[in-house]
Chains A and B, each alone.
Chain A
């Protein structure tokens, strides 16, 4: 068999072996979806005076300053409120301690009065028995 004939048969076999294959289903749809996504990411080419309406809200200086001021106000207000709450809590704690002390004193006084009454009652009963 001649080399030319071999080569020709090999070339034919290569053409069959290397025939095109279709890509997976929905390949084209995936490409188009990626192209649209990429396209939508591009900056819009509108008139400059219209950009104030199209830029992200925080890109506008007024909004940036207003946001910063609101944050500072919230921090200061939060600090003041926190100190106020702490003071109220301390005052409440002191009042509680005073009330406990008063209750203890009242309790001991009651105990003393009770023992005195008991003593008088015991004496009265003893006298009655003697009589």
Chain B
């Protein structure tokens, strides 16, 4: 029969679990924040705050899928809150920041342009595009995470794609895509 864990041992195991969760999901949380905010320092700060909030709410989360869902949801909401609190104006295409690190594969010019174009999208549309193409989420899952109707998610995605295609074609050329 197994002996019951002491309070210190239980706390140590909880910390180990938390460390594992941070290491497993840090790229996801940081990348959502980075693509949305376009500022590596702000993205790191926001990502740290998300994980600290997770640490405080860890007992309420039941599974790894639940943790992942929770992290995406909280990161998305915090991104929008952060942008509204900082009262920064909507980023225009020319002002959109350069990507923080070069993309390793694909057409680097196209990738850089797409990152700038995504950064210039309205907040909700930007977050939906990031969740769809960075996180490879389905429209239904995005609707769950952002608590919005699935029709809104789908129409926003279509409008965003049309705008991106139009701007990429105009700036880089049809050959690129």
Interface residues of A, Cβ cutoff 8 Å to B: 1, 6-7, 9-11, 13-24, 27-28, 30-32, 34-36, 38-39
For A31, give its contact among B22, B100, B165, B176 (CB under 8 Å).
B22
A-B contact count (CB 8 A): 107
Q: How far is the CB of A51 from chain B (nearest CB, A)?
A: 18
For B30, give its contact among A10, A18, A23 (CB under 8 Å).
A23
For A18, give its contact among B22, B27, B48, B115 (CB under 8 Å).
B115
Chain B residues lying within 8 Å of A22, measured Cβ to Cβ, are: 26-27, 30
Q: A11-B133, A19-B103 are in contact. List 15 more A-B contacts (CB 8 A).
A: A13-B111, A13-B176, A15-B134, A17-B106, A18-B114, A18-B133, A20-B31, A20-B134, A22-B30, A23-B30, A24-B44, A32-B22, A35-B15, A35-B55, A38-B56
Distance of A42 Cα from B114 Cα, bound (Å): 45
Grouping DSSP codes into helix (H, G, I), strand (E, B) and loop, the B interface class, with mixed when no group exceeds half, is helix
| B13 proximal to A (CB < 8 A) | no
CB atoms of B51 and A35 under 8 A apart? yes
| B96 proximal to A (CB < 8 A) | no
Chain A residues lying within 8 Å of B15, measured Cβ to Cβ, are: 32, 35-36
Chain B residues lying within 8 Å of A15, measured Cβ to Cβ, are: 133-134, 136
Residue of B nearest to A38 (CB): B52
Distance of A28 Cα from B28 Cα, bound (Å): 13
Interface size on B, residues (CB 8 A): 45
Q: How far is the CB of B46 from chain A (nearest CB, A)?
A: 11
For B164, give its contact among A10, A30, A35 (CB under 8 Å).
A10
Grouping DSSP codes into helix (H, G, I), strand (E, B) and loop, the A interface class, with mixed when no group exceeds half, is helix
| B95 proximal to A (CB < 8 A) | no
CB atoms of B130 and A31 under 8 A apart? no
CB atoms of B27 and A17 under 8 A apart? no
Render B33-48 as a binary contact track against A, CB cut-off 8 A, 1 for contact. 0110000100110011
Distance of A14 Cα from B112 Cα, bound (Å): 10
For A19, give its contact among B44, B56, B134 (CB under 8 Å).
B134
**A6 with B19, Cβ < 8 A, contacts A23-B26, A23-B30 known:** no
**A18 with B174, Cβ < 8 A, contacts A31-B48, A31-B52 known:** no
Distance of A14 Cα from B136 Cα, bound (Å): 11
CB atoms of A35 and B52 under 8 A apart? yes
Distance of A28 Cα from B47 Cα, bound (Å): 10
CB pairs A–B below 8 angstroms (5 shown)? A13-B107, A15-B136, A18-B31, A23-B27, A27-B26
Leading 6 A-B pairs by shortest Cβ distance: A16-B106, A23-B30, A17-B111, A17-B114, A14-B133, A18-B134
